[in-house]
Amino acid sequence: MSDDTAATPPPHDITIRGLAPSDGEALSVLYAAPGAVWGTLQMPFPHRHLWLDRTQSPTPGIHQLVACSGERVVGHLGLHLAENPRRRHTAGFGMAVDDGFQRRGAGGALLDAAIDLAENWYGVLRLELEVYVDNEPAIGLYRSRGFEVEGVKRAFALRGGSYVDTLVMSRLRLPEGILRVKGPDLA
Ligand SMILES: CC(C)(COP(=O)(O)OP(=O)(O)OC[C@H]1O[C@@H](n2cnc3c(N)ncnc32)[C@H](O)[C@@H]1OP(=O)(O)O)[C@@H](O)C(=O)NCCC(=O)NCCS
């Protein structure tokens, strides 16, 4: 880590590793849980094979990490590297921690690993995401890692009968002196 929002070491019982083909079953359960569906764009009652298929072979442009407590997979993060050559300095991500394992440091450990991977190995300068305006745990996590609010997307997604706004957040690490055409600061 290399800056002011440097990571704290993960709790001793949490390890981070790359996705394995055998993680499909665990991720199917993790992303079907009510909290994960509420906080992400996952659908309730997903097909059992959705994550089995996704874990079988690496998807180009997506670097996937899991958090484990012992052998048990308790969290997942997919880092999406931009394909457009002019946006290669950017990446987005989606993440979730098992509903029964939250607030024990897995989300922070996953995000710290993803920030390190993105910025220090892929050369990402801008990490970006969208988060529902009422998702306080996620917003708290992102703020604690140096993400700032850039704007609001209104009625971004349907969630259980309500259209929910999202915050657009990013963590920007532009080198000193780099040219940038700036817009107004709306935050
Ligand atoms: C958001 C999420 C990934 C956080 O994972 P987690 O393992 O609970 O997070 P951690 O225990 O590592 O907490 C890290 C920090 O996040 C913030 N945070 C976590 N839970 C919080 C809560 N309930 N309220 C406020 N802040 C919270 C805190 O800043 C916390 O640091 P602290 O414990 O030192 O105060 C998890 O709540 C989750 O999976 N939610 C459902 C799916 C989702 O919303 N994904 C994000 C989509 S944008």
Quick check: CB of 100 below 6 Å from ligand 1?
no
Instruction: Name residue 17's beta-bridge partners.
Output: 66
- Do the domain assignments include residue 5? no
**Residue carrying structure tokens 């996620």:** 138
Count of domains observed in the chain: 1
Distance CA 53, CA 37 (A): 19
- The parent domain of residue 24 ranges over 14-172
- The reply to whether 66 falls in a domain is yes
The answer, yes or no, to whether any atom of ligand 1 lies below 6 A from the CB of 138, is yes
**What's the gap in Å between 102 CA and the centre of ligand 1?**
7
94 domain residue, yes or no = yes
Half-sphere exposure of 127 (CA within 13 A, CB side): 24
Is residue 182, in this structure, part of any structural domain at all? no
User: Given the CA of residue 143, which atom of ligand 1 is nearest to it?
Assistant: 29
Ligand 1 pocket check for 146: Cβ under 6 Å? no
Query: Looking at residue 149, which CATH number applies to its domain?
Result: 3.40.630.30
Cβ–ligand 1 distance for 32 under 6 Å, the answer no
Structure token pair of residue 183: 């817009």
Residue 49 lies in a domain: yes
Q: What is the pLDDT of residue 3?
A: 52
With respect to residue 8, please indicate whether it lies within any of the assigned structural domains: no
**Atom of ligand 1 at shortest range from CA of 138:** 1
Q: Specify the DSSP class assigned to residue 109.
A: H
Residue 181 maps to a domain: no
CA distances from 71 to 48, 124, 157, 184 (A): 21, 30, 34, 48
Q: Is residue 38 part of a domain?
A: yes
Q: Print pLDDT tens along the chain (187 aa).
A: 445 455 667 777 999 999 999 999 999 999 999 999 999 999 999 998 889 989 998 899 999 999 999 999 999 999 999 999 999 999 999 999 999 999 999 999 999 999 999 999 999 999 999 999 999 999 999 999 999 999 999 999 999 999 999 999 999 999 999 999 999 876 6
pTM confidence score: 0.94
Q: Most distant CA pair in the chain: distance in Å?
A: 50
Structure tokens at 172: 């920007």
Q: Is 5 in the pocket of ligand 1 (CB under 6 A)?
A: no
Yes or no: say if 165 and 132 are a contact pair by the CB < 8 Å rule. Answer: yes
Backbone φ and ψ of 183, nearest 5°:
-95, 180
Q: For residue 182, how far is its CA from the centre of ligand 1 (angstroms)? A: 31
pLDDT attached to residue 1: 41
Q: What is the pLDDT of residue 2?
A: 44
